[in-house]
Amino acid sequence: AHIYPREKEGDYAGLIEGFENELKELQLNKQNFLEKLYFLLFKYTWSVPAQTERAGFYPDISLFAHLKLTAALGICLLSAKINCHKILTKLNEYWQNNKRSFLESIEKEKDFDIPIATLLLGDLSGIQSFIFNVPSKGAAKSLKGRSLYLEILLYVIAHYILKEFNLPLTNILYIGGGNFYLLLPPNKKDKLEKLQRKIDKVLFSAHKGQIWVGLAWEDLNIKDLLNPNRFAKKFGRDIHDKMQFHKMKKFKSEDIFNPFSASARRCEVCGEEAKIEEEEIKICEFCDSLRRLARELRKAKYFYLKETDIRKNYKTYKDVFSAFGYEAGFCEKLKDDTRCYLINEIPEKLNNNLVGFIFLPISLPLSEEGNVLSFEELVEKGKGAKQLGVLKIDLDNLGFILGKGWEKWEKEDFNKPCEDKQRESKLSISRIAFLSTMLSLFFNWQVAKLAERDEYKDSIYLIFSGGDDVFAVGAWERVFYFLKEIREKFEEFTKNELVTFSSSYLIVPTHFPVIRFSHLIEDGLAEAKGIEEDRKCPPPKNKGMFLNVCLDWGYKGKREDKTSVWELYEWIERIEKEAERDIEQFSRRLGLIAGVFSSGLREMKKGKLKGIEHVWRFAYGLRDWVKQYQNLVEDLVRLNQELIVEVWKEGEKKWLIAHPDFINLIARILNLKYRG
């Protein structure tokens, strides 16, 4: 499937014909009919607009999202036994009589205060500690399995809740990034509290408090669904305040005070009793099962989900899934009497056991023998220094995008104080569902497909990619260019300069503690996103942290910023091309000069003019290369001069358009790449 925007005449006739042909093969009385219909509609209507500009609407919600939410709301109304005819008749009367003040007029109607659905938030806590708090020795074998387990666990719990309420797949609004949103029937407080106790019991028994899935909910009425500002408050502040309150009371069970079993042989990953002793580390049965989960990916073509008998002993990840009534995993061939989903591909045709498709980051660097590569083996696949590159990506302004929609907004929207903006929210359940689909298509699918390409598949661990973020570890140089390609694809996907992500990238030795580099990369991302926190809201972000140097990403093809991330990649490419014969010596010389003179730029930042001498000193330092590479040297000298002037003009601002360490950063990366 082609997911990137392109100019093309609409071929609705072809879509309808394809849909009808496949629909004919689905039998209404057969098992999983509704789920197959769901994926069939996804396949054919995810990019068909539900509303058009011709009808006076901006087409930023797909027909699939509209159909999905119509079905989800319909079953909630049916479960609540609400007189839909009465409600719709009243709504139509209000609309006919008060089109201009429709939202204000319905606020007075008490019948519209009756809850018709429940918005449920599920939030997974403890992700970073669970995934990354592992010994560096043998870490590569553990990270993927632990990450994948959490992703499937959230998927299983969401399906468990749907099954408890007898709801179809349509009622999953969003799942990814450690969260899910479900649409449930109203007035189900007692049942949801019971489900929370069940989740607490299972996860505490299995993980002793390492991870927790909390539930928070808000009842929705007609007014909430029709008024975007009311819905935004419930979806945003109200439900998250409840979740924060629940987090302070998590695991409200007396089991938490019971003594744990003591053992001299402790698992070096989680601290439980070790049953398996390998050459590298002692490991318990559960952690070993997570390693085996990752090994299942070697030949995985399908993900499967099957209802199963409930178990109460939690020795492996399969036991935890079974506690919620499901068996889940990966297989090379379709399984009988099991719901199977094709991984990262759209199937040409659904059949008895193939009910749909799923997007998962399953790529895993393997040796020729099929074993997971260690970090030491991984770095050998890259160029230059034998170091690990660590990457974290996170979408910017998610809440703002949800409220504004995909409609392009102007840069001026970012430059007015919040209280001065008369910006009406456009947040709706349909928009959440559509954004969920779009984020899944890019972060779950396209990033995963990119990681499977030949230049990355044996040199990068895509630890997780989904929701609105990415975490990858690998040979430093491969990760550096992996980030570049993700950004290129993202800009092509959004076609909107103000829908951006921020990133953090660092380089560490292979023996560096995993938990430490996970904290460092998170700190770098937080610093990059918060560096303009004194701006008027909402902040544009769009930053890239590279080896503790924070740059603006910019937008490819635009030369608005002399020290953007795109300029960084272009300068590296240009120097490699023009100074190819002497790249190692040229890079070393450039790094020596730039490293010394960046301190002068910082003096200029403080307004001290004595730093101006570095204009000619920088030029003098590159004098021996003028004859071979005149144009390149002259442009580097000019860039250095422009940076000095810009830094002096901007003074001691926290955020500089011209970064004093820009040329030094170029040289550092080149030196790492061409280190002998």
Q: Residues 427-463: pLDDT tens digits? A: 788 888 888 888 889 999 999 999 999 999 999 999 9
Mean pLDDT of 525-535: 74
Same domain (yes/no): 627, 491:
no
How many other CB atoms sit within 10 Å of the CB of residue 307? 12
Asked if residues 68 and 433 have their Cβ atoms less than 8 Å apart, the reply is yes
Six-digit token pair at 394? 């996170």
Six-digit token pair at 353? 């056991």
pLDDT(46) > 70? yes
Find the helix or strand (DSSP H, E) in which 534 lies.
Answer: none
Interacting residues of 367 by C-beta distance below 8 A, sequence separation 6+: 373, 377
Q: How buried is residue 578: exposed, middle or buried, by Cβ count under 10 Å (0-12/13-18/19+)? A: middle
Torsional class of 157: left (φ above 0), alpha (ψ -120 to 50), beta (otherwise): alpha
| 196 within domain boundaries | yes
pLDDT at position 5 is 66
pLDDT at position 461 is 93
Same domain (yes/no): 127, 248:
yes
Same domain (yes/no): 415, 443:
yes
Same domain (yes/no): 660, 605:
yes
Confidence label for 642 from pLDDT (cuts 50, 70 and 90): confident
| 662 within domain boundaries | yes
pLDDT at position 437 is 87
- Name the residue range of residue 428's domain: 392-553
The tens digit of pLDDT for each residue in 483-504 reads 999 999 999 998 888 889 999 9
CA distance 594 to 653: 22
| 157 within domain boundaries | yes
Mean pLDDT of 662-672: 93
Interacting residues of 222 by C-beta distance below 8 A, sequence separation 6+: 87, 91, 106, 111, 112, 114, 116
| 566 within domain boundaries | no
Could you say which of 518, 553, 588 is where a domain stops?
A: 553
Same domain (yes/no): 30, 144:
no
Same domain (yes/no): 530, 597:
no
Q: How buried is residue 53: exposed, middle or buried, by Cβ count under 10 Å (0-12/13-18/19+)? A: exposed
Q: Comparing C-alpha atoms, which of 518, 549, 553 is closest to residue 666?
A: 549
Same domain (yes/no): 545, 398:
yes
Same domain (yes/no): 464, 598:
no
Same domain (yes/no): 585, 612:
yes
Q: How far is CA 315 from the centre of its chain?
A: 30
Mean pLDDT of 536-555: 83
The tens digit of pLDDT for each residue in 372-414 reads 899 999 999 999 999 999 999 999 988 777 766 555 555 555 5
Q: Comparing C-alpha atoms, which of 366, 324, 328 is closest to residue 140?
A: 366
pLDDT(340) > 70? yes
pLDDT at position 254 is 43
pLDDT at position 420 is 44
CA distance 457 to 451: 6
- Block residue for tokens 């140089």: 477
pLDDT(598) > 70? no
Which CATH number characterizes residue 253's domain? 3.30.70
**Mean pLDDT of all residues in the chain?**
85
Cα within 13 Å of Cα(551), Cβ side:
27
| 559 within domain boundaries | no
Q: Percentage of residues in the chain with pLDDT exceeding 90?
A: 50
The tens digit of pLDDT for each residue in 263-286 reads 557 888 877 777 776 656 788 899
Lowest-pLDDT range of 143-147, 211-215, 480-484, 592-596: 592-596
Tell me which range, 199-203, 251-255, 562-566, is most confidently predicted by mean pLDDT: 199-203
Mean pLDDT of 356-372: 88
Confidence label for 467 from pLDDT (cuts 50, 70 and 90): confident
User: What does residue 356 show for φ and ψ, rounded to 5 degrees?
Assistant: 180, -155
Q: Comparing C-alpha atoms, which of 577, 582, 557, 578 is closest to residue 567?
A: 557
Split into its structural domains, the chain has a count of: 4
Could you say which of 91, 110, 129 is where a domain stops?
A: 110
Of the two residues 2 and 124, the one the predictor is more confident about is 124
pLDDT(622) > 50? yes
CA distance 587 to 572: 10
pLDDT(364) > 70? yes
| DSSP 3-state of 217 | strand
| 305 within domain boundaries | no
pLDDT(415) > 70? no
User: What does residue 218 show for φ and ψ, rounded to 5 degrees?
Assistant: -135, 130
Q: Comparing C-alpha atoms, which of 181, 260, 238, 178 is closest to residue 212?
A: 178
Six-digit token pair at 557? 């093809």
**Strands of the 549-552 sheet, one edge to the other:** 460-466, 469-475, 388-395, 501-508, 543-546, 549-552
Sign of CA dihedral 40, 328, 215, 198: positive
Of the two residues 562 and 263, the one the predictor is more confident about is 562
Q: Which amino acid is at 1?
A: A
| DSSP 3-state of 392 | strand
Of the two residues 265 and 110, the one the predictor is more confident about is 110
pLDDT(534) > 80? no
The tens digit of pLDDT for each residue in 116-158 reads 999 999 999 999 999 998 888 778 888 999 999 999 999 999 9
Six-digit token pair at 347? 């199937």
Q: How buried is residue 459: exposed, middle or buried, by Cβ count under 10 Å (0-12/13-18/19+)? A: buried
CA distance 412 to 541: 15
| DSSP 3-state of 406 | coil
How many other CB atoms sit within 10 Å of the CB of residue 382? 23
Q: How far is CA 491 from the centre of its chain?
A: 15
Same domain (yes/no): 87, 142:
no
| DSSP 3-state of 538 | coil
| 534 within domain boundaries | yes
Same domain (yes/no): 154, 60:
no
Could you say which of 234, 257, 280 is where a domain stops?
A: 257
Mean pLDDT of 570-585: 94
Asked if residues 128 and 526 have their Cβ atoms less than 8 Å apart, the reply is no
| 4 within domain boundaries | no
Secondary structure, 3-state, 307-372: ECCCCCCCCCHHHHHHHCCEEEEEECCCCCCCEEEEECCCCCCCCCCEEEEECCCCCCCECCCCCE
Same domain (yes/no): 548, 652:
no
Task: Please report, to the nearest 10 degrees, the dihedral formed by the alpha carbons of residues 172, 175, 180, 186 taken in order.
Answer: -10
> CA 546, 547, 548 angle in degrees (round to 5)?
90
Which CATH number characterizes residue 422's domain? 3.30.70.270
